[in-house]
Structures are given as C-alpha cells and as structure tokens.
Structure 1
C-alpha cells in the first residue's frame, strides 16, 4: 500500500485561512512614507536656511558695513524774539514775570555714507530745548542715500510764543539782554537701515545731541558742539 500524506489543515477546513495568519494594514506603509517625506523636507529647508545664512555672512564680511554718519552742519537763525509777560498773580512781584519766546531756526544736516551699499533713512524728529524745556520740533523726511555719497538735508524749527515762567524766564531774559548768549540744545534720533542686494537690514538708531549758542543781537549762531552716538564730532 502506498502511504499518502495526511491532508493539510487548510484542506480539512475547506481552504480557509488560519485565524493566526494576519496581514499588516495597507495604510501603515503610507504613514511611514509620509513621515519620511516630512523628514526629507525638514532637512532640505534646514540646509537651504543654513546656505542663506552663510551667504549673508559672507556678503556682510566682504562689504564690512559701517555705521552711518549724521551731523548737524550749520544752524541759521531766521528770527529770535523774547518778550516779558506778567503772570496772573494777586500781588505782582519781580519774579512773577515770565517770558514768551518766538524762534525760527534752520538746521542743515550732513549725511555721509562711506559704505559700499546704500542706506535708507527713516523720518527723523529733532527737538530744540532750553534748560530741559522743549520749545519746538523739526522733522526731516525719510530719504535714500546711495553708496559713497554725501547728502545734505535741512529742517526749520518754528517756536511761536512759548511761555517760560519765573526762574527760567529770568535766566532767559538775562542771557538774551545782558550776556547776548542763549544756549539751546538740539536732540533727535535718526533711524537708518542698510540695503544689501535688495534686502534691508535691521534698523540702526543714531542719536544726535548738539549744544548751540545763539546771539539775539546778531541773530546768528556763535557756538556749536555736537555728539554723535556719544562721540564728539
């Protein structure tokens, strides 16, 4: 007699699959490939970012940008008038008199750009002060300055009858009438940005602090000393 092999379990069960023969869900491979694509994109963007940063650093090191120079070149006195005015007090005294100041001065600034790239200046505001009291404000509109150039911009500050009281008024009247010397202070911040290959760098702020002396009799400037970012210029 020829021996036959025993029938398999699948044959006995009518060819049904064994309950323990599971297959992986078809969407698991899709998740793995999606994660792989995300990792590749992240690495690609990181590499591009590093390349851009390195290129910017190379350009900055090659150009070696310098801080912009913004200086008060001259001050022209168009008008300066000081009038004593009594303050409303029940019993007038010599110290109860104030003064009204009317002033018009033209300030000429010089912007120097020694860089190989252009500089974009924002709108700048300058304040004229007497003994810490603001008298008036002038505005210089924003402008663009090409590389290796010098540009002059100007603004006019008009003070229309600003009242000073008691001690400050007495000092101002004495300075104007007896000493012929009125000392003022010009303060302002200049915002500038360097433009490289169409890109604008973060803003750099330049502080201008000038002490000026005006002669009321001559209607002229007699002294000027400016500070540029804390350095004397």
Structure 2
C-alpha cells in the first residue's frame, strides 16, 4: 500500500492577510485548527507543517508537532510542499501519495482528505493528481474572485481553474454544477516532482493558481468531488467572522 504524506504549508507574509496562520479563531491560531483536524485522518505515515517562518516553527515546536523548514523563495504552496516532502524523513516512492492541506482551511474535515485520496487509489493508472472540488450553491461565492472555480470534462479531468465566474451563465443556480477548489490537493510523488520541474506558466501567474501550471504544460489533475457544506477558507480578515460563526455549529469543534 502506498505511503501517505500530509503537509500543511503556511507562511506569515500572505499578501491579503499578513500573519494569518497565527491569527486566533475562537481562541486558537488558525494553523492549530488545520493541524488538529488533519490529524484526525487515520492513515498518515507523516503529517507535518511546512514553513519558512520561525514564528510558525516556534509555535509548532512548542506544541510538539512536526515542522519542516523550507526556503523563503517559494511563491506557490505546491513548491513548498514538494521541498518539505523531500525532507520529511522517510523514503518516498514514486507511487506514494503526498497531500497538500492548505493552512488556511480551518474548517476542513478528515473525510475531505479521504475524498481527495480516493480517485488516486481507485484509478491509479489514470489519475496522478487530484483537487478537492466542492459544489457552489451560492451566487456570491460563484462571483467571488477569492474562490477558484473549476472547469472539468466528463471524466473529471480538470481543464482550467479561474477566479472568474465560470462556467458562464445568464442566471446562477445549483443546476449549473459550478465547483470551486477546496484547499486539499493529492499527488503521486513522481507527479508532484514533475510539477516542480516545470517553469511557472502564464495562466498560473495570471490566475494566481498553482494548478494552471500543469494545464499550461499539457498535464492534468482530476477532481475529487465533495458536496457543499458551510465551510470557509480564510483569505482576508473579514473571513475570520464567517469562520467563527460557522465553526460554532461544526461537529468537530470541541473534539480537539
């Protein structure tokens, strides 16, 4: 069975919300919510934070959590995750699975991790990379540029991701089938290494989305479908209030 390595990238210099990994949510730093929820998934061979910031390293070490220091030159989370995976302390085979669990997803659930891994294990010859794809049921989120929308073909192969409201519609409704990226990505190790060997691409830079690097160079990920649930990423200080209101009713709150 393939090993499963989970890495949570975080940095203090986020352009829209500096310092957000350690910003409190219901009295605990955001990165603590992410790590504690991720560790509820039972199949990890490795689970660690990865960062270039001593403040995050100090916080993790004080908690006794694994943390891997990376270069401060990375502009994309997947490049940071790839460096951390190479330093994680175990031998990783090409078919082992590396997961990037974004450090700004404080409401993630462990079954989301299982969903992200599922296509990799069920279609091993075809699927080398996945992204969790959550249904969009709200027009405001559909039109929000912070939510990266996904266009995919009938087999689930991702064709493009954009901050624009796609697919086009005259009137939004759930029947549109719009999906957004939820910040959990799965890769076979050889595919993640390939990603880091590719140069940054025009559509990656224009959309500020790592995955478009693959599509620009002729490679693909597949969606890992997940139904809508009231779960918010933290992209700006305003999102803290949304998360705190929703987390109060979240069944995982209070279990860590």
**TM-score tier after normalising by the smaller chain length:** under 0.3
| Greater RCO (Cα-Cα under 8 Å, separation 6 or more) | 2
The structure with more helix, counted as a fraction of residues: 2
Q: TM-score, normalised by structure 2?
A: 0.23
Q: TM-score, normalised by structure 1?
A: 0.24
